[in-house]
Amino acid sequence: MKIILIGIQGAGKSTQGNLLSTSLEIPYLSTGHIFRELAKEKTSEGRYIKETINAGFLIPDGQAFQIVTGYLSKPEYANGYILDGFPRTVKQAEDFKENIDYVFYLKVSDKEALWRISGRSDERDDETLKAIRKRIELFHEVTTPVLYYYRKRKLLVEMDGEESIEEIHKEILAILR
């Protein structure tokens, strides 16, 4: 099974991704985690990624596509995966030729997302208020059309991301079964 999780930063994608990974016994892959790991590398690509994500911007389509598809070509993803944070643009969605089963959109308000992020205990370099606001703005501007793209293909399932973690997880599993 191949699942995509979409939502603004703080929507609960990584929480649901990890829960689903355990329940479905398929790997969870977060592009945010991948990019933060790459940003630690002392290479020109690492420095570029670090500067880009710390400013709240998106990694360019071609580069993001190459990184994500490179990861998904590994054997552990051959039987399915839960993907968080990709595709972020319609171009990425169009180029992504995987047979996706479901796209879950965890819908939360900007205010709720900011509140959740401010309550996190693990502060990250890419979570300055300026960077978070930029990413939320980019989500509405750039990623919202991705929702329409998957809705047209009858793959999109909208979830109330402000429900409890347990309730959202239970609803997703009910849809998958």
Task: Give residue limits of the domains in the chain.
Answer: 2-176
In the β-sheet with 81-84, what is the strand arrangement from edge to edge?
28-30, 81-84, 2-6, 102-107, 156-160
Expressed in angstroms, the distance from the first to the final Cα of the chain is 11
- Average pLDDT on 137-153 reads 93
pLDDT for 120: 62
Residue 92: both structure tokens together? 């990425």
The contacts of residue 131 (CB under 8 Å, 6+ apart) are: 53, 54, 55, 56
Span 44-73, pLDDT tens digits:
999 999 999 888 788 999 999 999 999 999
Instruction: Say which DSSP state 59 is in.
Output: P
Question: Across the strands, what pairs with 84?
Answer: 5, 30
Span 76-120, pLDDT tens digits:
999 999 999 899 999 999 999 889 999 999 999 988 888 887 766
Which residue's entry shows tokens 């690509």?
Answer: 45
Query: Would you say residue 126 has pLDDT above 80?
Result: no
Length of the chain: 177
Q: HSE-up of 152 (CA within 13 Å, CB side)?
A: 9
Q: Which CATH superfamily is domain 2-176 in?
A: P-loop containing nucleotide triphosphate hydrolases (3.40.50.300)
How far apart, in whole angstroms, are the C-alpha atoms of residue 175 and residue 2? Answer: 14
Question: Across the strands, what pairs with 24?
Answer: none
How far apart, in whole angstroms, are the C-alpha atoms of residue 75 and residue 157? Answer: 28
Query: Would you say residue 123 has pLDDT above 90?
Result: no
**pLDDT band, very low/low/confident/very high, at 38 (cuts 50, 70, 90):** very high
